[in-house]
Amino acid sequence: MLVVIAVTGVIAAILLLQLPPIIGRTDRTADFAALNTLNRASILYKTIRNIGGNDVFEGLTTDQARLTALLDAKNIDRIPVANIEGNIFAWSIQEQKWGILHVVSGTEVEMEKTGGFTGFITGSYDGDEKDIKIPASIDGTAVTVIYQDVFNGKGLTSVVIEEGITRIHARAFKDNDLTELVLPDSLTRLDYGAFMDNPLTKVTIGPNVTIIEGGVFPNNESFTAAYNAGGAGTYILIGGVWFKQ
């Protein structure tokens, strides 16, 4: 009897250790299923309305408004909420499809709330997610600056930066796997190497950037020359040279 009880206890312990990863995989699978449904619904939404423009949800500026439009059109039966804590469904205007992003929280970075550095994201990102969104506020404090090296070498594959951020410090996103980038219109300054060592080939930038220091983008001199001539817009890298799209 003692042997049976001991074996049962070992099995229970093993199951208890395995349960969180199993639940995590189940939640992730459910989120990807919801994502596929959203993308199919968006195609249907566009087809039924014979939308011919570049953006399926032209005129709708928030994801909540886009999801509500799909719900009102009866293309979905409810507005989905991601099962993985901190994740959201986000519409990419560039790619014209839904994706899953992780919203960076105050448990993953340091958010300065007092003194001269108020509004700065500092420290080093210690989250696991690689597709992230930097929100307009963290823990009730508006984000205005991303400090140096915060996201350096984190294996990021995509990043969404919300409006309100005015400066990205040196090497803040250095050495990641970013191929495309949309910068907020509020941005005014990019410090040395902010996006260095990323395989970027497409950058959308607003009209208010007045300082782009060295090494920010691949072939940075070509980018700054193109931006100084062309202003706000989307730029693509072809043959080592940046062109306005």
Contact 173, 147 (CB under 8 A): no
Q: What pLDDT is attached to residue 9?
A: 47
pLDDT at residue 51 above 50?
yes
Q: How far apart are the first and last CA of the chain?
A: 75
Work out the pLDDT band at 24, boundaries 50, 70, 90: low
Question: What is the average pLDDT across 186-211?
Answer: 98
Tokens of 43: 């195609």
- Rounded Cα distance, 209 and 166, in Å: 9
Q: Please enumerate in sequence order all residues whose Cβ is within 8 A of that of 22, keeping only pairs 6 or more positions apart, or say none.
A: none
Q: What pLDDT is attached to residue 167?
A: 99
Contact 92, 98 (CB under 8 A): yes
- The pLDDT tens digits for 59-87 are 898 999 999 999 999 999 999 999 998 99
Residue 146 β-bridge partners:
121, 168
CATH 3.80.10 boundaries in the chain: 104-244
Q: What pLDDT is attached to residue 23?
A: 56
Which of these, 171, 172, 165, lies nearest to 187 by C-alpha position?
Answer: 165
Fold of 104-244: 3.80.10
Q: What pLDDT is attached to residue 114?
A: 94
Q: What pLDDT is attached to residue 98?
A: 97
Task: Give the distance between the most distant pair of CA atoms in the chain.
Answer: 83
pTM metric for this prediction: 0.81
